[in-house]
Amino acid sequence: MIATAELHVHLEGTAPPELIGRIARRNGVELPAGMLAADGRFHYTNFLHFLDTYDLAASVIRTAEDYRDITYEYLASVAEDGGIYVELTASPDHAALVGLSDSEHYAGIAAGIDEARRDHGIEARILISGVRNFGVEAVERVARHAAQRPHPYVVGFALAGDERVAPGQFAQAFAIAADAGLCCTVHAGEWQGPDSIREALRLPVTRLDHGVRAIEDPTLVRELAERHITLNTCPTSNVVLGVFPSFADHPLPHLRAAGVRVTLGSDDPPYFGATLAGEYEVCREHFGWDDQHLREVTVAAIEAAFCDEPLRAALLARAHGPDPAARPSQEPAAN
Ligand code: HPA
Ligand code: ZN
């Protein structure tokens, strides 16, 4: 088994319908109408409808314990498939909408991280995310809160939501986050093309979430490679949402061949039928990547991670080291 690492996954978007149902029952709230299709999966017909369904599911997540459970269950599932590190993109706006304070929100996620480390040996950190369609002021508020309330697990600032709201409007929010020492990433180049990516690159970011439509402009691809910008790509999300018609049409192999640093992420796993290990398998099956290629993807993720240097060094040793699944068999035999 290859050691994997993930920089692009939305925390509320990791909870499958079964867990959302369990949390709703515990909180005594009805499942929102229209959230699920007849087959029990999340229901949406396009990206904007997906964002609405995501908001419906997030509306039943109410307590620190809910956030603990979602974090723990996701990290346990990733660790089971060889995952060693995850950066969880968390949205304080979604927590605030149900009346949860930032400190309870952080405490719930941190408890999930601590318990997953104890039980499954996986590490995780938090990226605080603004939602661009909630407006510039809301995103600046999120950045200010993150800047004013440092937390050891909060290492970065991200921007998600409807990409048609242009990234340049959020320059002030990114300046606030960057000035507070938070590393920054931004969704770009999924629904909008090269111009939007260029605008995003004027923000203080070292990574882009998606970024794959850079392929439409070879000069931009060269710039990404030269500036060592890491693209946190999510091939299954892209194909399910129709950004590209099939894996055969996905530009990931071309971006990688052009020297752009790329990582793999599941984005919103149960919505897209994705898992982190599954994204590695997609690359093996559709792009012909072998173990060496896939290990390089994990190393690229750890090199681009927003964690501290001692953790990065420990993760790099694990990524280069023996198969994570093989660790128990390296113990001396009992007799
Ligand atoms: N893309 C953009 N915004 C999001 C997503 C996503 O996949 N999930 C939650 N917010
Ligand atoms: Zn995303």
Helix axes 276-287, 291-304, angle to 10 degrees: 130
Measured CA to CA, the distance from residue 56 to residue 41 in angstroms comes to: 13
- CA 208, distance to chain mean position in Å, is 11
Measured CA to CA, the distance from residue 108 to residue 61 in angstroms comes to: 11
Atom of ligand 1 nearest to the CA of 129: 10
From first to last of its 335 residues, the chain has per-residue pLDDT tens of: 999 999 999 999 999 999 999 999 999 999 999 999 999 999 999 999 999 999 999 999 999 999 999 999 999 999 999 999 999 999 999 999 999 999 999 999 999 999 999 999 999 999 999 999 999 999 999 999 999 999 999 999 999 999 999 999 999 999 999 999 999 999 999 999 999 999 999 999 999 999 999 999 999 999 999 999 999 999 999 999 999 999 999 999 999 999 999 999 999 999 999 999 999 999 999 999 999 999 999 999 999 999 999 999 999 999 997 655 554 433 333 33
Listed by start position, the domains of the chain span 4-314
- pTM value? 0.95
Residues 6+ apart with CB under 8 A from 310: none
- Distance from Cα 334 to the centre of ligand 2, integer Å: 46
Regarding the beta carbon of 62 and ligand 1, being less than 6 Å apart is answered: no
- Distance from Cα 9 to the centre of ligand 2, integer Å: 6
The reported pLDDT for the residue numbered 330 is 39
Measured CA to CA, the distance from residue 62 to residue 98 in angstroms comes to: 6
Measured CA to CA, the distance from residue 13 to residue 58 in angstroms comes to: 8
What is 113-180 written as a DSSP string? HHHHHHHH--EEEEEEEEEGGG-HHHHHHHHHHHHHS--TTEEEEEEES-TTS-GGGGHHHHHHHHHT
Atom of ligand 1 nearest to the CA of 190: 1
Measured CA to CA, the distance from residue 45 to residue 60 in angstroms comes to: 21
**Among 12, 140, 163, 190, which one carries the catalytic annotation?**
190
Regarding the beta carbon of 73 and ligand 1, being less than 6 Å apart is answered: no
- Distance from Cα 271 to the centre of ligand 1, integer Å: 11
Out of 3.40.50.150, 3.20.20.140, 1.20.120.530, 3.40.50.1820, the CATH code matching 4-314 is 3.20.20.140
The reported pLDDT for the residue numbered 328 is 43
Regarding the beta carbon of 94 and ligand 1, being less than 6 Å apart is answered: no
- Distance from Cα 47 to the centre of ligand 1, integer Å: 9
Regarding the beta carbon of 160 and ligand 1, being less than 6 Å apart is answered: yes
Task: State the residue for tokens 């692009």.
Answer: 8
What ligand is nearest to the CA atom of residue 6?
Answer: 2
Residue to mutate, 49, 50, 54, ligand 1, most ligand atoms under 8 Å from C-beta: 54
Active site residue 190: yes
The reported pLDDT for the residue numbered 325 is 53
